[in-house]
Structure 1
Amino acid sequence: MPSPNAIILIFDTLRADHLSCYGGQVDTPHFDRLAEHGTLFESAFAAGPATPISHAALYTGQYPSENGVTGQYLQLPENVPVMAEWLQKRGYDTYGITGPAKMGSDWGYDRGFNSMFETYYDLGKRPSKKYFKKVVSDRLVARDFIQTMIKGGRSYTSLKFNVLCEKIRNDLTHPFFALCNVLPTHLPYDPPRPYKKQRCSNYSRPRWFFLEYLLNTSGDINNSEIRLDRIRRIEDGEGIGQFLANPDWLNNSEIELLQRWYEASVKYADDIFGRFLEFYERELIEDTILIVTADHGEQLGEKDIWEHSHYLFDETIQVPLLIAGPRVPTGVRRGDLASLIDIFDTVCDLCDLETPNTTSGESLFSDDQREKVFMEYGERDQQEFAQNSNHGRYLDTEQLREFSAGRKGVRTDEYKFVMSSIDEEKLYRIPGEELIEDPEDDMLDKFRKDIKTILGDEFGRWPEGDPSEFELSNEVEKNLRDLGYI
């Protein structure tokens, strides 16, 4: 039989526990339908809590301490095979669509892709002369522009899916490998206006989105307890550090509003995915593997944390993972543990290709099942973190020490053990991540040995310097600023 195609869709910052197929309260019929077509993994986990860390692990099939990407502003290693490159050398036509610039060409994440679509480079900023030239010359961009002017939404999600479908129909030769990152559930939690209105009926805004731009307003809310200026500071990333420094900076009504807007973003993600799923069911399902996942989740106030990149709690580390297509069991729910580092081996297995001897994962459809998953991230320089990060600048000395620490963790079905670069160790009971106050020494010794064997002793680094030190282009810097990173 001809080799199957393979598509990986990464919904950046999507929490598994918000999808209805995972028991979540947001009705997501299209993710549910994909689960019926294939296999759903109930306990899948990222190898790290941030975009570059997680993507590098998925691309290489290696843990962060193995590939060296333990933080941001770090190059994807050139001496390690990556998935797109591996498939390209075995006859696959390869195509990529980036999300945040942190997993774009500036840090080597274009390696192995014959071509790549990066909105911040290919379209330019909105508005700009370059962008409007694209609006005039490209019907997909024109359609996205009109929809945005009417309904709002800033994530380019609909455009990316349209670009991907057109590329598959017209340009990619079989077999092909495509990877696409979309951002509908990433801060600033700003799906098109009908979705926000559905989740928050007392929120009002101008009838058309372009009026918000002209009037320099983003709406109002009929609730005296909600301070919209604080909501906006969370959305632009500046307020994250203020919340981390003092969780009382947001009151319960404000936290609930942001949670509702995240839910609205999840609903939008499902609807847009539904359009792609129809295309997949109509034209690709017989000869194309489809993998849907996320690079990490999101803390939404739980444990007094907002956003991701901090700690190794399940809200950030657990991700959805659904796989469909040739040779994939249909209508199956798997309760065993899975890691994103297993994706490389799984794609090779399903495509009947050999796997490089550099990966640390294994095919999710092999006879072996995981008993543990591992996760980690590097330590930050406290001074850099305080001076150059939206998150670090509001923290006091002890908080800086805590949030700058690197961490390594191992999780089983019953426990999670986390050790840090500041010599803290914590053991949690699963589910619920209840802290065990007086754990047995033998159990701690076992988990320490597990971590040392798989992840080593070193915590790696997480550069947090001034973006100007990294010679970022204007387009990349704006992209990272829009997403609240700088």
Structure 2
Amino acid sequence: MNTKCLFLIITIISFFSGCHHEYSSDKNTKILAIDSLPSLPTHHSILEKEINYIAPQSGSVYLVWNIENLPLDELVALNDNTKLNKGKLYTPMSAIRDTFKIKLNVPQNYTFNYSFWITKNRQGHYIDYWDSKSHGRMQVSDDDPIIKKANYSKVETKTESKLLSKGWLALIFFTGVFSLLYLIEKKWLIHIKAPSHFETIVFLGISLILLQALARSEIVGINPLSYTNNPKLIVKIIRASFSDFSFVASITIVFGLVGLWIKNVKIKNALNLLFILFAIFIIIVAFVNITTVILLGKPFTYQWLYYSDFLGSDEAKTALQENISLSIIVNLVAYCISLFLLAKILHGTYKLLTAKKNLKYITLSLLSLTMMVLLFFSFKTDVNWTKGKSENAITSFVNSMMKANSNSYFFDTEITADEETFDPAKSTPLKTPLIDSYHHQVKNVLFIVLESAGATYFDAYGGGFELSPNLNKYAKQTLIFDQMYTHTPSTNFSLVSILGSMYPIISFKSITQENPEIDHPTMSSVLKNNGYRTSFFTSADLRFQNCNNYLAHRGFDNVEDFSMIKCDNQFHLDHAKFTEGNGMDDLCLADRLSRWLDLNTDQNFFSMLWTVQGHYPYFFEEEEQDYGVSNLSFNRYLNCLKRNDELIGLVMQLLEERGLVSSTLLVVTGDHGEAFGQHSQYGHATGIYEENLKVPLYLINPILFNGERVKDIAGMKDLATTVLPIIGVDTPEIWQGRNLLSTTSNEAFYFAPWSDYLFGYRNDHMKYIFNETENTVKVYNLKNDPKELTNLYNNKMNVELINARHKVSAWVQFQDNYINQILKKEQ
């Protein structure tokens, strides 16, 4: 239920330290009997070899090793907790304080190769780091212990800020410059007076502008070290920092003028203190904003704050903890100190240059002229960054909060009388329905909704990662939809669309949070009224966006999340220390379903399983398969999708064991996609590209389907209106979906309101994305450009774009009225 991403942008929170397991061992080494290794020559003994690995920044370490020219499976039997994988042995090491230890039983006089694999850092966060510089190769001749010290080489990913870890370097630099200035003062016997209240504010403001420009340089991709080689970059960074300059200049002028006007010294001091605190806050936000923009594409907004349950959701806390460490806090403190040192340096330099009156006027004139020239040329410079990369983080957040409840153009534009009335179920009947007859024995319905499951990663959709052996196994009894989309890339929005056959509310606010008791029929309530047993089981935490309360009013007999389902592999989040979001192993859902089915074998059933492991932080505790992708989170995510396929296999197995396969329609889909760098985004809620919206859809039943594929466009709202007719249950007239088995459609509508106010319209192969926040348009031909790499927008598309805008306006206004009418009934 979202948010890799999303919430890494809050200022400083308390750091925590990881827990270590205590370790105790017998210091005496042993010679083991050679009979325990029958494959070894009898003249060799087995030594107990101790390996010590000093790794103070690590929380979990594996020794990865082998013995040359020996069968490794024999060594597995000799060493507890050791696993064999791809020609290497993996043994977990135990920790006592900063040292990880293990005792291995290894044959004497054989060559021993070893290395260290760090899987968690000291805070308990998952990492994937191979300490290649601490590996070793040796002849085992004695039982002397091996002692190695960890070599931590910085592993950078696309989601990390380089500058955020370089605060110490800035502090050293400014300390050196300040010391040099101090020595010059002493040598020339110049006495520089302490700055006045006004000077303190002015020079602190200038320092703020300069350090914000430094932070902005990384956001727009300019290396600060390149300024000397290419002075033109200075003009570019001034252009990129104009929003920061305007914001800081404004507050500096206000504070400065108020300070000049006030005569009371105590009030002046209080004013200066307030400005200093504000400056510290601004500089922290400026550097934290680097990571925010890397992940979200723009600064944090009020809409993101709402989406994260005002940072109360487990995902928000996890994201914060994943990205706030002692190192980052120390570097932020270093930048704050650098801010004051720079202000001192600028003030001292100014006083030195203006010690004489005539020099003072020359200096001021040159500075003013230089600034005007730079500003002039900065606005003549072409830029290649988006608006989000140059927005000031604070003003952007305030602006998003002020406009939170304002509507876009699409809500207000006039729909003319001659325009076609919007029909949410608009479609064309198929000449030949995909099911010949509805007279069959299929009466049960089972949904498996895969969290953050982007279609592009699945085998049937050209993924290439071989994640779906179980889905592939049942391909001959499956109907696959090639173009299945969520309407909004958010879990709780998709939940409402799937159950209630409706487009979501067009707002950053959600039905589950604001109106959980909404009077609207759902699949579960309709089937409950038709005598079905109903259940909803999820491995996630249903407290997110009040989903538990919403589901409590949907006619389910059982609604259970991770906190209620028995599972040995749960991951928890508590207030004192949190490393993962709340949840459990998705495979435990199969066991819970099995027990629920066995309680009543006579009654028809409807059940929905909703996974969690595909959501950030992609919890996966077992040994990961390497899929050859550069991003560690992406690799873990792919392992989670493979785990979801295992769940599908277990569910099919339990249905087969109970003789329920033929009588049960299994629906497998995703709630939304997940991005890993495509279009410079991570996670799912920041955009409405294919990686955000497109999900798999499999309908599985051996009686109904024979491996067919459907190419027309389907949406979440269409699932309920497709499923109920299959089992002979009438659908409520208020529902908005169409029957995917008897109709066809070439239109789709999307929106996402959290980063920018985004609206999308799909007509056949053409897709239009309207960014109402930035007033931009993107147009893609998905047939020729399925990855949306080439924006076809041009000024000659006026007629085409007007038509697309009218379509979106008609949809938005219809849906807004539709939701309002439902809510009015409750009042």
- The TM-score range, normalised by the shorter chain, is 0.5 to 0.7
Question: Are 1:45 and 1:317, in contact at CA under 8 Å, matched by a contact in 2?
Answer: yes
Counterpart for residue 762 of structure 2: 411
Match of 2:464 among 4, 7, 25: 25
For 1:96-135, list aligned pairs within 5 A. 96-98=536-538, 99-101=540-542, 102=544, 105-110=547-552, 111-120=554-563, 122=564
C-alpha separation between the residues in 1 aligned to 2:717 and 2:508? 14
SS in 2 for 1:64: coil
CA-to-aligned-CA distance 1:165-195 (integer Å, 9 cap, x gap)? 221122465211001101121111232322x
Specify which of 658, 663, 668 is matched with residue 292 of structure 1.
Answer: 668
Alpha-carbon distance, 1:43 to partner:
0.8
- SS across alignment from 1:357: coil
Give yes or no for the alignment of 1:343 onto 2:719.
yes
**Secondary structure of the corresponding residue to residue 157 of structure 1:** coil
Deviation of residue 269 (structure 1)? 1.7
Question: In 1, Cα distance between the equivalents of 2:545 and 2:449?
Answer: 12
Q: What is the alpha-carbon distance in structure 1 between the residues aligned to residue 684 and residue 443 of structure 2? A: 35
2:328 is the alignment partner of 1:328: no
8, 11, 34: which one aligns with 2:450 = 11
Structure 1 residue 449: Cα displacement = 1.9
User: For 1:172 and 1:406, how far apart are their aligned partners in 2?
Assistant: 48
2-side partners of 1:312 and 1:265: how far apart?
A: 23
Amino acid paired to 2:791: L
Higher relative contact order (CA 8 A, sep 6+): 1
Aligned residue for 1:440, secondary structure, equals: helix
Rate the CA distance shift 1:371–1:307 in 2: closer, same or farther, 3 A: same
CA contact (8 A) 2:484 2:715 kept: yes
Residues 61 and 17 of structure 1, relative CA distance in 2, 3 Å threshold: same
Evaluate the alpha carbon distance shift between residue 290 and residue 119 of structure 1 in structure 2; reply closer, same or farther with a 3 A threshold: same
Asked whether the 8 Å contact 1:12–1:182 carries over to 2, the reply is: yes
For residues 545 and 720 of structure 2, the distance between their equivalents in structure 1, rounded to whole angstroms, comes to 17
* Deviation sequence 1:341-375 (CA, Å, 0-9, x none): 10010111111111111111111111x20111111
- Residue correspondences, number: 357
Q: Which residue of 2 aligns with 1:222?
A: none
Q: Find out whether 1:262 has 2:701 as its counterpart.
A: no
Give, in angstroms, the shift of residue 87 of structure 1.
1.0
- Other-structure match for 1:224: none
Alignment of 1:229-240 (within 5 A): none
Counterpart of 2:780? 428
Q: Offset at 1:2?
A: 6.0
1:141 and 2:557 are equivalent in the alignment: no
Alpha-carbon distance in 1 for matches of 2:503, 2:638: 30
Q: CA 1:55–1:281 in 2, change beyond 3 Å: closer, same or farther?
A: same
Of the candidates 557, 578, 593, which is equivalent to residue 164 of structure 1? 593
* Amino acid aligned to 1:199: D
Residue 776 of structure 2 aligns with an amino acid whose one-letter code is: E
SS in structure 1 of the partner of residue 465 of structure 2:
coil
Q: Distance in 2 between matches of 1:325 and 1:68?
A: 37
> Deviation digits for residues 79-127 of structure 1, max 9, x if unmatched?
211111111111111111133423765441232101111223x26xxxx
Native 8 Å contact 1:154 1:191 kept in 2: no
Query: Are 1:187 and 2:563 matched, yes or no?
Result: no
Partners of 1:74 and 1:107 within 8 A in 2: no
Q: Distance in 1 between matches of 2:772 and 2:516?
A: 23
CA RMSD of aligned residues (A): 2.8
CA displacement at 1:436 relative to structure 2: 1.4
1:279 corresponds to which residue?
654
Note the alpha carbon deviations across 1:298-353, whole angstroms, 9 max, x for none.
01111111111111111010000000227632211111111111001011111111
CA contact (8 A) 2:586 2:643 kept: no
Q: Partners of 2:537 and 2:759 in 1: how far apart?
A: 30
Q: Confirm whether residue 440 of structure 1 aligns to residue 816 of structure 2.
A: no
Q: Measure the CA separation in 1 of the matches of 2:601 and 2:524.
A: 14
Do the aligned residues in 2 keep the contact of 1:296 with 1:316 (CA within 8 Å)?
yes
Tell me how far 1:426 sits from its aligned partner.
2.4
Question: Partner amino acid for 2:693?
Answer: I
The amino acid that maps onto 1:260 is N
Q: 1:406 offset after TM fit, Å?
A: 2.4
Q: Does 1:94 align with 2:523?
A: no
Correspondence 1:369 to 2:744? yes
- State the 1:445 CA deviation: 1.6
With over 3 angstroms needed to count, the CA separation of the structure-2 counterparts of 1:104 and 1:29, relative to structure 1, is farther
8 Å contact kept, 1:67–1:77:
no
Say if 2:634 and 2:676, in contact at 8 Å, map to a contact too. Answer: yes
Cα distance between partner residues in 2 of 1:67 and 1:91: 35
Amino acid at match of 2:768: F
Q: Deviations over 1:175-229 (max 9, x none)?
A: 11001101121111232322x1x2179xxxxxxxxxxxxxxxxxxxxxxxxxxxx
After alignment, is 168-177 or 435-444 more displaced? 168-177
Q: Given residue 359 of structure 1, which amino acid in structure 2 is its aligned partner?
A: W
AA partner of residue 108 (structure 1): Y
Compute the TM-score of the two structures, normalised by the length of structure 1.
0.68
Which of the numbers 53, 73, 77 marks the counterpart of 2:493?
53
- Opposite residue 759 of structure 2, the aligned amino acid is K
The residue aligned with 2:688 is 312
Q: For 1:161, what is the secondary structure of its paired residue? A: helix
Q: Distance in 2 between matches of 1:292 and 1:92?
A: 20
Q: Which runs of 5+ in 1 are unaligned?
A: 124-139, 147-152, 202-252, 381-402, 461-486
User: Hey, what's the Cα distance between the residues in 1 that align with 2:640 and 2:555?
Assistant: 31
Distance 2:529 2:681 in 1: 43
Q: Does residue 1:449 correspond to 2:806, yes or no?
A: yes
- Report whether the alignment pairs 1:358 with 2:749: no
Q: Distance in 2 between matches of 1:424 and 1:86?
A: 42
In the TM superposition, residue 274 of structure 1 has moved relative to its aligned partner by: 1.4
Deviation at 1:34, TM superposition (A): 3.3
Identity %: 21
User: Hey, what's the Cα distance between the residues in 1 that align with 2:601 and 2:559?
Assistant: 12
TM-score normalised by structure 2 residue count: 0.41
Whether the aligned pair in 1 keeps the contact of 2:512 and 2:550 (CA below 8 Å) is no
Q: What one-letter code is carried by the residue in structure 1 that aligns with 2:762?
A: R
- Specify the structure having the higher radius of gyration (Cα): 2
| Deviation readout 1:215-269 (Å, 9 max, x if unpaired) | xxxxxxxxxxxxxxxxxxxxxxxxxxxxxxxxxxxxxx8x522222222222222
Q: CA deviation at 1:455?
A: 2.8
CA distance 1:458–1:361, change in 2 (3 Å): closer
CA distance, structure 2, for counterparts of residue 67 and residue 114 of structure 1: 30
* 3-state SS of paired residue (2:471): helix
SS in 2 for 1:193: coil
Residues 50 and 71 in structure 1, CA contact (< 8 A), matched pair in contact too? no
Question: Taking structure 1 as reference, are residues 330 and 119 closer, same or farther at Cα in structure 2, changes over 3 Å only?
Answer: same
Code of the aligned partner of 1:296: H
Q: Name the SS for the 2:587 alignment partner.
A: helix
Contact 1:421–1:459, Cα closer than 8 Å, also in 2: no
Deviations along 1:50-75, one digit per CA (max 9) or x if unpaired, are: 11111111111111137996587333
Amino acid at match of 1:264: N
